[in-house]
Amino acid sequence: MTTRRKLMAGIGASAGIGLIGFKPAYAAIRPPVTRVEPVVMTRFGITTIDPYRWMENPKDPDWVPYAKAQGAYARHVLDRLPGRAALEKRIAALSGATEAVRDLQRAGNNLFLTVRPAGASSARLEVQGEDGTRRVLFDPNTAKTESGAHVSLDWWRASPDGTHVVYGSSPAGSEESVGRVIRVADGVTLKEVFERALFGPAYWLPDSSGFFINRLSDQTMQGTPDYFMKSVCWFHKLGDDPKDDLKAATFGLHQMVDLTEVEFPILMTADDSDFGLLLGIDGVRRELSIWSAPLEGITKGLPVWTKICSQADTITGFAHSGSTLYLTSEKENPLGRVVAVDLKEPSLTSAREVVPASRNPIEALSVASDGLYIQIMDGGPQRLRRLSKDGRLHDLTMPFEAGIYAVFSSATRPGLDMVLSGWLQHRSIWNYNPDTDQFSDTGLSPKPNIDLTPFESKRYLAKAKDGTQIPYVVMAAKNATKRGPAPCLADAYGAYQVSNTPFVNPRSLAMMELGGILMFASVRGGGDYGRPWYEAGKKATKSNTWNDYIACCEDMIARGLTSPAKLTIRGTSAGGVAVGRAMTTRPDLFAGVICDVGCVNLSRSEVEQNGPANFPEFGDPRVAEDYRNLVAMDTYFTIQDDVSYPAVMVITGITDPRVAPHQGGKLAARLQALPKQKKPVIMRVTFDEGHGIGSTRGQIDSKTADEYAFALWRAGVPRFQPRA
């Protein structure tokens, strides 16, 4: 057993400074020196030592100075890379040259769009009338907070008749949405204001007279582990004062609705249905709890709820039209089958199968007036199947090998619209017409005038430690590896059953134009092959995630595509587990590591506001088996004093509501203090950004330039080497 004396001695050696305070005078020329206050904790027989636990308190007087100094040091390092400024200019030209449309909704005689105009910083809400004329309803580019922070459009939904839109916006990438209503005819914002409306959008009644909206409890405090707990779903009648809204659902409100404290109650409607569906969404868990009741009773405060399924029933998707509820059931088959429930007499036991399980997993369901659409995952690319009203099932012929990034449909309209992208096909909005059985590009999202023909994408398979074949995709200029191994930025995620679907980001061309290659690994924990692939990289099997990542990197090297001296790996958010543990497992394999708002200290998740919501994904630290798994996937606690790690760039935004900034702060401090760490460790900090959701185009351009410049610097590309 490791004694407290040995643990304390180890921390003293790793820090090399003892209990020394922060010295801001050195911030611009070398990493800040910060205080070390070792906390020894033994839990379930596992002892950990945490030298920087004080960072978990954002009100600690040393935290903001430390973060500012780290940010200043990172800028000092990155801005000295000679090619960085030109790289950011090129990225900005690629990202902003063309208008981009992200979301749409057809309602009444209007078409509503989320539009980021060419050259603009943020997306805005527009409406297009029958005559084709478009006008702006809400533009965050012209809105600022009193402190000068930028504002982001977070979510919106138009009423079925197209006369009103309810939307949420927040400052500085915080995702702390405030809801408001716009009257479409004259663009006037109504008096209603909905605080703490983080989990939009709102869902309208079919007659457009009101909507249901989820809001955080006014009893919770931001930054605490119970912040997201016991949220409330309210019914708001259009024109009323929100203080008079009806509490429709929350923990403990109705005897028949056994919501847990963690579940978010979301009440959903369909344009052609008299029934409402109450969803209990347990953080990031895919399994749903669902109740149904007639809308008339819900809006009067006299709901007659019937429970349709619980999490144990393994229902992972739904769509409803009229009195029919379609459900994706994974209980009998982990790849999913579709069953139908009659909402007039709802019972899962009497549900009838309408689409049997196939060899490909079901991703999502959408309903239109002509039938049910089933989104299928096929190892990364996605496609659609259609169940027509007469019961015929057929596969739709996709316009290209695509990733489906959004589907927009209504039970009162035929067909659907969707956002598609390929590895080398620009993102665009397509429409499927069931009468012609054809897809067509709507032209609503103009394609950038960017030639993709000089580039190529190739799919490879790597052999994992246990023999499993792990797919990965490499994108590069067609001659990138002609002269030997190329600089490479590799990416992996591997969580929440999120798949590695085809997508081309115009910004990435800037990296490839300089001879760099990009790799995307479909590691386990993701959803490329459905639930079995997901479960094989979760909790007790999480080590597969980073070992698969390592296997893909080794396979690239064996093929001569890159080399350890030219390879930088990156992981974002939950991908912090993949990138961090790949680094601590094989520090010899990489030249650089980028951890972008990454989860690197998950064994301490119970102290974060978003921690409990992630217990289903990573584990509950209060449970012995889960805690052992969490410590094993915890990058911060697997760092060794006697190892020299690759160069590391930690990225965090101070307003991040999803991964607490102290995770990155701890990691950077720990690595910088290692006695054998010779390669640079920097922490890029911004104070007007969060998790990246809500960042402006310019902010994303700047971060992308930093990531690419860092990778090219570590790969030894001459134009990115700092001058002596």
Q: What is the CATH number of the domain that holds 562?
A: 3.40.50.1820
C-alpha–C-alpha distance, residues 684 and 546, integer Å: 24
520 and 656 in a single domain? The answer is yes
C-alpha–C-alpha distance, residues 607 and 598, integer Å: 16
What is the per-residue pLDDT across 445-472, written as a single tens digit (0 to 9) for each?
998 999 999 999 999 999 999 999 999 9
Least Cα distance to 343 among 354, 327, 328, 356 occurs for 327
pLDDT at 517: 98
C-alpha–C-alpha distance, residues 159 and 621, integer Å: 43
C-alpha–C-alpha distance, residues 179 and 137, integer Å: 14
532 and 611 in a single domain? The answer is yes
| DSSP code at position 17 | S
522 and 435 in a single domain? The answer is no
668 and 519 in a single domain? The answer is yes
Q: Is 435 helix (H, G, I), strand (E, B) or coil?
A: coil
Using alpha carbons only, give the angle 600, 650, 676 rounded to the nearest 5 degrees. 85
Spell out a b/e string for 618-654, using b for 16 or more CB atoms within 10 Å of the CB, else e. Answer: bbbbeeeebbbbbbbbbbbbebebeeebbbbbbbbbb
Is 278 within the bounds of a domain?
A: no
Indicate whether 283 pLDDT > 90.
no
C-alpha–C-alpha distance, residues 643 and 7, integer Å: 17
Q: Is 517 helix (H, G, I), strand (E, B) or coil?
A: strand
Q: How large is the average pLDDT for residues 480-494? A: 96
Q: How large is the average pLDDT for residues 625-632? A: 98
What is the per-residue pLDDT across 656-712, written as a single tens digit (0 to 9) for each?
999 999 999 999 999 999 999 999 999 999 999 999 999 999 999 999 999 999 999
Rg (CA), the chain: 26
471 and 431 in a single domain? The answer is no
pLDDT at 6: 31
**Torsions phi, psi of 296, nearest 5?**
-60, -45
Q: How large is the average pLDDT for residues 629-649? A: 98
Indicate whether 90 pLDDT > 60.
yes
Q: Final residue of a domain: which of 447, 479, 497?
A: 447
637 and 674 in a single domain? The answer is yes
Least Cα distance to 508 among 490, 526, 494 occurs for 490
478 and 622 in a single domain? The answer is yes
Is 436 within the bounds of a domain?
A: yes
| Residue 314 or residue 28, greater confidence | 314
C-alpha–C-alpha distance, residues 309 and 366, integer Å: 19
Strand order in the sheet with 681-686: 455-463, 469-477, 517-521, 488-492, 567-572, 592-596, 647-653, 681-686
Read off the pLDDT band of 30 (50, 70, 90).
Answer: confident
Is 299 within the bounds of a domain?
A: no
**Torsions phi, psi of 236, nearest 5?**
-115, 125
408 and 512 in a single domain? The answer is no
Is 218 within the bounds of a domain?
A: no
Read off the pLDDT band of 9 (50, 70, 90).
Answer: very low
- In the numeric block, the tokens 């090129």 are attached to 90
Is 79 within the bounds of a domain?
A: yes
Min mean pLDDT across 21-30, 87-96, 352-361 is at 21-30
pLDDT at 439: 98
413 and 469 in a single domain? The answer is no
Query: Do residues 421 and 500 make contact, with C-beta atoms less than 8 angstroms apart?
Result: no
373 and 509 in a single domain? The answer is no
Q: Final residue of a domain: which of 418, 447, 476?
A: 447
pLDDT at 4: 30
Least Cα distance to 137 among 123, 121, 149 occurs for 123
Indicate whether 8 pLDDT > 70.
no
Percentage with pLDDT > 70 across the chain: 96
H-assigned helices in 358-449: none
What is the per-residue pLDDT across 306-348, written as a single tens digit (0 to 9) for each?
999 999 999 999 999 999 999 999 998 999 999 999 999 999 9
Strands (DSSP E) found in 295-446: 306-309, 315-321, 324-329, 337-342, 352-355, 362-368, 371-377, 382-388, 393-395, 403-408, 416-421, 428-433, 438-441
Contacts of 80 (CB under 8 A, 6+ apart): 722, 723
Q: How large is the average pLDDT for residues 356-368? A: 97
pLDDT at 10: 34
Q: Final residue of a domain: which of 398, 421, 447?
A: 447
Read off the pLDDT band of 501 (50, 70, 90).
Answer: very high
C-alpha–C-alpha distance, residues 253 and 217, integer Å: 13
Q: Is 438 helix (H, G, I), strand (E, B) or coil?
A: strand
489 and 398 in a single domain? The answer is no
Is 340 within the bounds of a domain?
A: no
Average pLDDT value for the chain: 94
Prior bond of 201 cis (ω within 30°)? yes
Is 16 within the bounds of a domain?
A: yes
pLDDT at 19: 30
Is 232 within the bounds of a domain?
A: no
Indicate whether 25 pLDDT > 70.
no
What is the per-residue pLDDT across 133-166, written as a single tens digit (0 to 9) for each?
999 999 999 988 888 899 999 999 999 999 999 9
pLDDT at 724: 67
435 and 470 in a single domain? The answer is no
C-alpha–C-alpha distance, residues 20 and 16, integer Å: 10
pLDDT at 254: 93
Domain that holds residue 490: 4-93+465-718
Contacts of 200 (CB under 8 A, 6+ apart): 154, 155, 156, 157, 166, 167, 168, 177, 179, 213, 214
Query: What's the pTM?
Result: 0.94
C-alpha–C-alpha distance, residues 347 and 340, integer Å: 10
pLDDT at 145: 86
Q: How many domains does one find in the chain?
A: 2
C-alpha–C-alpha distance, residues 375 and 426, integer Å: 20
C-alpha–C-alpha distance, residues 15 and 8, integer Å: 11
pLDDT at 653: 97
